[in-house]
Amino acid sequence: MRYLPHTEEEIKTMMARIGVADFSELFPTVSGDCRYEGEMNLPKSHSEWELEAHMHGLGAMTEIGPEYAVLLGAGCYHHNIPSIIPALAGRSEFLTAYTPYQPEMAQGTLQGVFEYQTLTARLLGTDIANASMYDGASALAEALLMALRLRKKKRRVAVSAAVHPHYRAVVDAYFRPTEFEVVVLPYGEDGRTDLTAIDQGEYAAIALQSPNFFGVIEELERAATAIHAGDGLFVACFTEPLSFGLLKNPGSQGADIVCGEGQSLGISRSFGGPGLGMFGCRQEFVRSMPGRLVGETVDLDGKRGFVLTLSTREQHIRREKATSNICSNQGINTITAAMYMAALGGSGMRRLARLNYDKAEYMKNALIDAGARLLFAAPTFNEFVFEFPGDFNITYRNLLEKKIVAGLDLGRYYPELSGKFLLCVTETTSKEVIDRVAEEVRS
């Protein structure tokens, strides 16, 4: 999309029309200590061609190219994307981030989003799903705020330490200006959340991730029982929705709100974004749910149609009294995920999830045979944590020279796990790469 700025003459004409002499008069409610004074230190402007050359130059600086085997997951996963997905999602009818407010102009987009909601609700095991959020992290923060709206008398929420650290950071940013408190629940020796740390009746909601940041599968049914015994809401989040092709989904295990990241569903990693925040809940909570919701109806002639519904919750109607001020990400990423889920179907999701699981188990066994130690004994899906013999940093560098990125040192997020590596295996990881890593560890 071209950027066409206004000319100085156009700006003066517009300001004269509304009766202001200076830009500062447009922002009288912004106090002086919140305004930037002086000229910003920006580089010189570029022409379109110069800017394109500059971006190509930046891209050439990337050290990790497509020829590398990357054993990284941690919330962003490398999966094969069927060629049908970009071919269809890239059509001009779908390639938009626009919110379809006008049903008479956007029936195709609305129907596509409605199909996404239906497929998402089935995948997550919830009664209803919205038209997506920004990403998994903001979806979790919004879920906890929703729980506080539903449990008005409670002022605390709890989040497992095994939830993705970036998600917890976003939750902290959301809650820091509020009167609510966020408590972090510890994880146990098996890598699962320590449910004995739950104080009955104290929390409006407790959030667990499964598979969690360590790749460990949490005991969601047991957690749901403990949380509901204290009249709290159970928020289940995730970073790898493909796991629900093999594992029981959170909704069927007692979760009240299910949220997480949908990047695995046909969306390129794109150096970390944009993502797709998936969000579902029980029907009884729908009026407290944030974001857009597409509903099915009939027109004056009785023909099937689609509209944005329950809009009285939203900021364009209620302004500061809105249920939430988050908007949805219901353009290209939502349609892409819907196409991916529809293309694979239930049997395809199961087969692909099984392939991820089997390859991960093969690598776990290969590393154990090579002398490495699996840190957590609980079952995992396609990620796991290992402690390696000797100085693995040397092994890591040797593998990097062979164009293999061998995992993530968890010390960056968990100081007590420094030197322990989180590895991820998907259907894109070849047996040759797995064997090469095991040989390097053995040597």
Domain spans in the chain, listed from the N-terminal domain onward: 69-81+345-442, 84-340
The pLDDT score that the predictor gives to residue 28 is 86
Report the pLDDT averaged over residues 416-433.
95
**Model confidence, pTM:** 0.88
Query: How high is the pLDDT of residue 420?
Result: 94
At residue 277, φ and ψ (nearest 5 deg) are -85, 115
3-state secondary structure of 253: helix
Q: In what helix (H) or strand (E) does residue 55 lie, and over which residues does it extend?
A: helix 48-60
State mean pLDDT over 99-120: 88
pLDDT value at 6 more than 90: no
Kindly list the distances between the CA atom of residue 183 and the CA atoms of 175, 196, 197, 199, 231, in Å, as whole numbers in the listed order: 11, 14, 11, 11, 17
Topology annotation, domain 84-340: Aspartate Aminotransferase; domain 2 (3.40.640)
Task: Using DSSP, state whether 187 is helix, strand or coil.
Answer: strand
CATH superfamily of 69-81+345-442: Aspartate Aminotransferase, domain 1 (3.90.1150.10)
- Separation CA 51–CA 53 (nearest Å): 5
Window from 31-35, 79-83, 265-269, 414-418 with minimum mean pLDDT: 31-35
The CA distance from 318 to 255, in Å, is 29
Q: Which two tokens mark 232? A: 């709290």
Cα-based distances in Å from 131 to 118, 270, 278, 289, 411: 10, 22, 8, 11, 36
Least confident of 195-199, 257-261, 284-288, 319-323: 319-323
Q: Is the predicted pLDDT of residue 39 greater than 90, yes or no?
A: no
CB-CB contact of 215 with 422 (8 Å): yes
Rg, C-alpha atoms of the chain: 24
Position 36 scores a pLDDT of: 84
Q: How far apart are CA 217 and CA 349, in angstroms?
A: 18
Report the C-alpha gap between 211 and 30 in whole angstroms: 44
Residue 200: pLDDT band by 50, 70, 90 thresholds? low
Segment 172-177 long-range contacts (CB within 8 Å, at least 24 positions apart): 173/141, 174/141, 174/144, 174/145, 175/141, 175/144
Q: Check if the beta carbon of residue 71 is closer than 8 Å to that of residue 423.
A: yes
Common-topology check for domains 69-81+345-442 and 84-340: no
Q: Quick one: average pLDDT of 115-138?
A: 95
Residue whose pair of structure tokens reads 């894109």 in the numeric block: 428
Q: Which two tokens stand for residue 204?
A: 């409006």
Which residue type occupies 65?
G
